[in-house]
Amino acid sequence: NSTESHDCAKSILTSDRLQMVVTLSEFFNETWETANCANCLKNNSEGLSNSTVEFLDLFNKSLTCFEDNLQGQTSYLSPNNYTEVCKNCNETYRMLNDLYNNLQRMNRQGGESGHSAHLCIDVEDAMNITRKLWSRTFNCSLPCSDTVPVIAVSSFILFLPIVFYLSSFLHSKQKKRILILPKRIQSNASLVNIQEKYS
């Protein structure tokens, strides 16, 4: 018991030259910390948290859906055509993806495990595997829900210069240039003629 006789435990654990027990203990503790394994467990580490169980259940359903739809396609479709997988497993994948995003959001705020860090490695690896299968292997895509607002804002921004120039053209006063003819001064010769008349 290391708590009662610390010196005795220390001498036994470090008795060999390699200190194999200490090295292994440090390795496993560091792996546990780095993999954030505690984030998959309940606060008192009695078992998996409810969210982890729910995620792993949806993960297994997604993989089962992929396998079932692939078996039905191999007989009559080319291996690059996975439309059935994309169509039939879309709902399951979307639920899994939403749950993963919620778990990430919850985990940043402390989550069920009480640790505010990354999700545990089992959940992250499972989601990475599923996303890789969905996007790279099956070439499926999740439709973006922000498409309509993005198109509306882009159209508005592209339309702004046209509105600006049109309004500036309509509201500006088109002044016509009026040529003012200058009054001509009578030449000196005509003045001389007038003076000669009166003289």
Number of domains in the chain: 1
Q: What is the pLDDT of residues 137-176, one digit of tens each?
A: 998 876 666 677 888 888 889 988 998 888 887 777 655 5
**77 assigned to some structural domain:** yes
Report the amino acid identity of residue 175.
Answer: K
**5 assigned to some structural domain:** no
pLDDT band of residue 75 (cuts 50, 70, 90) is very low
pLDDT band of residue 8 (cuts 50, 70, 90) is confident
Please give the residue range of the domain that contains residue 67: 40-137
**48 assigned to some structural domain:** yes
Q: What is the pLDDT of residues 40-51, one digit of tens each?
A: 888 877 889 899
**159 assigned to some structural domain:** no
The percent of residues above 90 in pLDDT, for the chain, comes to 30
**115 assigned to some structural domain:** yes
As a whole number, mean pLDDT of residues 48-69 equals: 93
CA distances from 24 to 1, 13, 21, 81, 192 (A): 19, 11, 5, 48, 127
In terms of Cβ atoms closer than 10 Å to its own Cβ (0-12, 13-18, 19+), residue 176 is exposed
**54 assigned to some structural domain:** yes
Predicted local confidence at residue 189, as pLDDT: 57
Q: How far apart are CA 85 and CA 82, in angstroms?
A: 5
Average the pLDDT over each of 16-25, 105-114, 117-126 and give the range with the smallest value: 105-114
**146 assigned to some structural domain:** no
Cα angle, residue 134 at apex, residues 128 and 136 outer, rounded to 5° = 85
**151 assigned to some structural domain:** no
Among the listed residues 151, 134, 157, the one whose alpha carbon sits nearest the alpha carbon of residue 70: 134
